[in-house]
Structure 1
């Protein structure tokens, strides 16, 4: 097998599994149709399926036939999309992956209720787990789900705060984004019968990589090549989003830099391009890109140190999971 064939084959099987569980004609035979069509819709919006793929590959590191846990892997994808459906309502986001968000295509009430069904379905998809592992899987899933909600609440709280400390922000992205990546890896290892110490290392690897991924997103939003990025560079600057870059700039800016930054943050009406250029210039002067890269790389390095310490049984899956993660780290969009 070639290096990429495991992931390619597993993604194909995962897509087939999700389509069978949530067919396009989901409303036929299931009523009311409005409850089920949004679920099929959001699951069909070209998601990368990174989280369930991590579960499948982590399983393959320890045991053959990761296809045997397609149901549990799909549970993670369904839960992830449930959170996105509800997040879009809270953020009043018009688009999801370039298409209308569910609450815009239908309405808020439909999106809330369909999301509720998705959460129930995620539990249903975990049920094929062996009885001796099911209790622990549900416990860890519940812990992760609660933490994701905690992260979302912290993120919303930050919108009304004048300042957010670096550690508060890092904890928020750990909860909102990273713990689900960690659980995805941990789940695959546990289902494969890996030692709990290895499953914990994989969890810690996922969490550290997840925090690094979000810092990478923060960085790309400001410093990406517009042609490669695929969306407007500087969106976080325009919205005054409290990313690591802004938090660090507010900490470091003194004198005229602080005055200029506060000026742009205080405006309710402004030229978007002018604001992006002005704040970008402040970031460059303060060396914010280098600070962010250093913090991001510290998480990546910690994560890979944990990954290299696991006791794998299948080196092909071990190396492929590592390569997929490295490719995500080096992305430019």
Structure 2
């Protein structure tokens, strides 16, 4: 996985300098815990990369905004894990599992408040514009999560509905992080729109790649159970395309796979993969992923800055689209 080590190191230093009180321990210990479960840190790094793209001297000034994005992302993970009843996050017990739901809810709330405290540390002249972008992406992430929960109860979800859900739940946070960096880097409105669109389209492609890896990834490198989406009947791009294309002859087989409570996990995964192969579902999913990746690259190319300045972002995009985990 591509990672700008200089950015990552500087961000980590700044994050560690942001301390939380010792008491109440049940409020702040879970915050320290989730922040220590370091993920890829892609979102805060995008803030720094967005700032440097337009003005390399503003990276330091972008650190509070990058921290706000990281705090918000982890707040959303704490609450999402409660809603999903997820036992693990990044290979460790989730906050609600390690403590309980009420502690997790309140710690998540506190982390959201702390994200606004970080934004308040940004240059005063930029705060209003940063808040506008941050508030927009924050409410859209909530909308995306609600749509995802609604989809669990629907018999059929259209591809366009799914794309809109992942755009809100996942992608606007990437686009917003880049735009906030661009604001700090003094980018004009046109450049901000382009860098935002780059991030959003890259985020959609990233999620489609995640859907594909869940079925076809290498168990040694994927980092979670391959076939987990199949076992939970999750409405991914592969599921949606199969439901759309399957013949009336094969539909009863699919319904049996989705509804059976006796079929073994391994058998369900293999039978579903066989249906995916019959209808070339992986190729169709790959095509949609590549379409969104192409749009992302087009938006980045369109920014009126020398291409060599954009190389770190192209390298990140390439790594995300060719990852195995």
State the TM-score, normalized to the length of structure 2: 0.96
**CA, structure 1 residues 8+317, in 2 after alignment: closer, same or farther (shift >3 Å)?**
farther
Aligned to 1:134: 127
Aligned to 1:152: 145
Q: Structure 1 residue 281: deviation in Å?
A: 0.1
Write the deviation string for residues 135-159 of structure 1: whole angstroms up to 9, x where unpaired.
1211111111000000000000011
Aligned to 1:252: 245
Write the deviation string for residues 62-87 of structure 1: whole angstroms up to 9, x where unpaired.
11231221111110000000000000
Query: Is contact 1:10–1:67 with CA below 8 Å preserved after alignment?
Result: no
Alignment partner of 2:283 out of 271, 279, 290: 290
Q: Structure 1 residue 9: deviation in Å?
A: 1.1
Gaps of 5+ in 1: none
SS in 1 for 2:290: helix
Q: Structure 1 residue 321: deviation in Å?
A: 1.7
SS in 2 for 1:216: helix
Aligned to 2:316: 324
Query: Is contact 1:58–1:317 with CA below 8 Å preserved after alignment?
Result: no
Query: Is contact 2:231–2:268 with CA below 8 Å preserved after alignment?
Result: yes
Q: Aligned partners of 2:305 and 2:214: how far apart in 1? A: 36
Alignment partner of 2:10 out of 6, 9, 13: 13
Map residues 165-244 of structure 1 onto 2, 5 A cutoff.
Answer: 165-244=158-237
Aligned to 1:268: 261
Alignment partner of 1:120 out of 113, 118, 121: 113
Write the deviation string for residues 149-171 of structure 1: whole angstroms up to 9, x where unpaired.
00000000011111111111010
**CA, structure 1 residues 256+226, in 2 after alignment: closer, same or farther (shift >3 Å)?**
farther
Map residues 85-104 of structure 1 onto 2, 5 A cutoff.
Answer: 85-104=78-97
SS in 1 for 2:51: helix
Q: Structure 1 residue 27: deviation in Å?
A: 4.7
**CA, structure 1 residues 300+131, in 2 after alignment: closer, same or farther (shift >3 Å)?**
same
Query: Is contact 1:57–1:321 with CA below 8 Å preserved after alignment?
Result: yes
Alignment partner of 2:99 out of 76, 100, 106: 106
Write the deviation string for residues 74-110 of structure 1: whole angstroms up to 9, x where unpaired.
1000000000000000000000000000001111000
Q: Structure 1 residue 248: deviation in Å?
A: 0.5
Query: Is contact 2:213–2:324 with CA below 8 Å preserved after alignment?
Result: yes
Q: Structure 1 residue 201: deviation in Å?
A: 0.3
Q: Aligned partners of 2:201 and 2:7: how far apart in 1? A: 24
Deviating beyond 3 angstroms after TM superposition, the runs of 4 or more aligned structure 1 residues are none
SS in 2 for 1:254: coil
Query: Is contact 1:221–1:233 with CA below 8 Å preserved after alignment?
Result: yes
Query: Is contact 2:61–2:184 with CA below 8 Å preserved after alignment?
Result: no
State the TM-score, normalized to the length of structure 1: 0.94
Aligned to 1:56: 48
- C-alpha RMSD over aligned residues: 1.4
Q: Structure 1 residue 255: deviation in Å?
A: 2.6
Query: Is contact 1:52–1:76 with CA below 8 Å preserved after alignment?
Result: yes
Q: Structure 1 residue 207: deviation in Å?
A: 0.4
Q: Aligned partners of 1:18 and 1:316: how far apart in 2? A: 29
Q: Aligned partners of 2:224 and 2:129: how far apart in 1? A: 41
Query: Is contact 1:42–1:81 with CA below 8 Å preserved after alignment?
Result: yes
Equivalences, count: 323
Q: Structure 1 residue 316: deviation in Å?
A: 5.1
